[in-house]
Amino acid sequence: MTTTTTTATQTYREAMRAAIREAMQRDPRVFLMGEDVGRYGGCFAVSKGLLEEFGPERIRDTPLSESAFVGAGIGAAIAGMRPIVEIMTVNFSLLALDQILNNAATLLHMSGGQVPVPLVIRMTTGAGRQLAAQHSHSLEGWYAHVPGLKVLAPGTVDDARWMLAGALADPDPVLLFEHAALYNMEGDPGESPTQPDPWSAVLRRRGEAASVITYGGSLPKCLAAADALEARGVAVDVLDLRSLRPLDDAALLATARRTRRVVVVDEGWRSGSLAAEISARITEQAFYDLDAPVLRVCSAEVPMPYAKHLEEAALPHPDTIVAAVDQVMRDG
């Protein structure tokens, strides 16, 4: 299976492709289904070449019917297959939300434990490419609100390469969010997983001054901010959540209690963001250990504008993250 061994550095896109290929080679129950995953090669070229290798039955192009093919993934999973359903972007997943929330997330419970749904749904998320108000949402925090679903957000090439296997091994529905801005990021995922299972958070940087908690597309921005702070002699923790549901409470509290100052960075709109949940959890459980209120760096509350300067102003950036860290260190 030389096709699946990874040679030194590759892109996030290539890593995700290698993960899908490996899963399909290892388990005949696995198939990929979605719009243009086959002949077109995938709208972000993730599945490019897989049609030739696995054929149209297992690399299954679908009509533009998000509700039907996501629901079909649920049914196929119930019947014992291991579908990977690709939704081009999270914006379009709204058309399949009834199936995801009313079926995938509830069937196990409604049936008293009889109907697990071992389905993996992959979709891109996030802004930054001037795609405006209908193609730039970050709704992974929304999905993380729903009991019955699990939500992963690979933010490194390593996780792009190795998280999928964990998602497919899980007996319940797992949503995998790939930030479109990460596809060209390069890294070396190595020959085997180096990280713990997908469900635990990982400390990507270690420092004592403050904790920066983030995930997915915001991780590189936070690492850049950490570098900038480092250059000024300020060392911070950068905690990569990786799993948005379940959240790794232990890791959240550990970093918060150690540095006593926390900044949460999340590309979602600020009000009702996942960052709010993290802030609330830390405050509930570590209030007396904090020297300052948990701060949030999120997107401006605006449907994403097209113009580059406006879009950039709406999103978190290393400098706004640095500013928030300076702020949280001044506080208290």
Partner 1 sequence: MTAALTADLVRARYREMLRIRRFEERCVELYSATKIRGFLHLYIGEEAVAVGVMSTLADGDAVVATYREHGHALARGVPADSIMAEMFGKVAGCSRGRGGSMHLFDVGRRFYGGNAIVGGGLPVAVGLALADRMRGEPNVTACFFGEGAVAEGEFRECMNLAALWRLPVLFCCENNLYAMGTALARSEAETDLALKATGYGMAAWSVDGMDVVAVEDAARRAVESIRGGGGPVFLECRTYRFRAHSMYDPELYREKSEVEAWKQRDPLLVLANREEAAGVLDDATVAAIEAAVADEIDTAVAFAEEAAFEPLEELTRFVYSEDGR
**Contact positions toward ligand TPP, by CB under 6 A?**
35, 64, 88, 92, 95
- In the complex with ligand TPP, the residue whose CB is nearer, 44 or 199, is 44
Q: Which of 166, 163, 168, 161 is nearest to 153 (CA)?
A: 163
Edge to edge, the sheet with strand 150-152 lists 59-61, 30-34, 82-89, 120-125, 174-179, 150-152, 243-245
Q: How far is the CB of 129 from a copy of itself (least distance, A)?
A: 16
Near a copy of itself by CB under 8 A, which window of 116-124, 174-182, 217-225, 265-273?
265-273
Work out how close the CB of 217 gets to a copy of itself at its nearest, in angstroms, rounded to a whole number: 18
Which among 98-106, 212-220, 223-231, 322-330 is the span making contact with partner 1, rule CB under 8 A? 98-106
Dist CA 192 CA 18 (whole Å): 12
Q: Closest separation between CB of residue 259 and partner 1, Å?
A: 28
Binding mask 284-323 for a copy of itself (x = CB under 8 A): xx-xx-x-xxxxx----xxx-x------------------
Among 82, 277, 318, 321, binds a copy of itself (CB under 8 A): 277
313 is a contact residue toward partner 1 (CB under 8 A): yes
Residue 256 near residue 282 (C-beta atoms within 8 A): yes
The interface mask with partner 1, positions 282-311, x = CB under 8 A, is ------------------xxxx-xxxxxx-
Beta bridge partner(s), residue 245:
151
| Tokens representing residue 119 in the block | 């389905």
For residue 40, the partner it binds in a copy of itself, ligand TPP, partner 1, none, with Cβ less than 5 to 8 A by kind, is partner 1
Q: Does 101 bind a copy of itself (CB under 8 A)?
A: yes
**Region 110-129 residues binding a copy of itself, contact defined as CB under 8 A:** 110
Rounded CA-CA distance 178/62 in Å is: 20
Residue 277 interacts with, from ligand TPP, a copy of itself, partner 1, none (CB under 5-8 Å by kind) = a copy of itself
- Window 243 to 262, contacts with a copy of itself (CB under 8 A): 245, 247
199 binds, among ligand TPP, partner 1, a copy of itself, none (CB under 5 to 8 A by kind): partner 1
Cα 236 from chain centroid?
22
Interaction between residue 216 and a copy of itself (CB under 8 A) = no
Alpha-carbon distance of 203 to 248, in angstroms, equals 12
Of the listed pieces 39-47, 257-265, 274-282, 321-329, which binds partner 1 according to CB under 8 A? Answer: 39-47
Give CA–CA dist 154/245, Å, rounded.
Answer: 13
Site string for partner 1, 112-131 (x = CB under 8 A): xxxxx------------xxx
314 binds partner 1 (CB under 8 A): yes
Name the residue type at position 220. Answer: P
Pair of tokens at residue 222: 């936070």
Tokens of 182: 């990460």
DSSP 209: S
Please answer whether residues 153 and 124 qualify as being in contact, where contact means their C-beta atoms are separated by less than 8 angstroms: no
Residue 205 carries which DSSP code?
E
Pairing of strands 186-187, 82-89: unpaired
Question: How many CB atoms are closer than 10 A to CB 196?
Answer: 12
Which tokens go with 108? 């196990």
Q: Is 165 in the site for partner 1 (CB under 8 A)?
A: no
Of 17, 71, 125, 297, which one interacts with partner 1 (CB under 8 A)? 71
131 φ, ψ to 5°? Answer: -95, 5
Residues assigned a catalytic role: 66, 135
Residue 13 or 204 with smaller CB distance to ligand TPP: 13
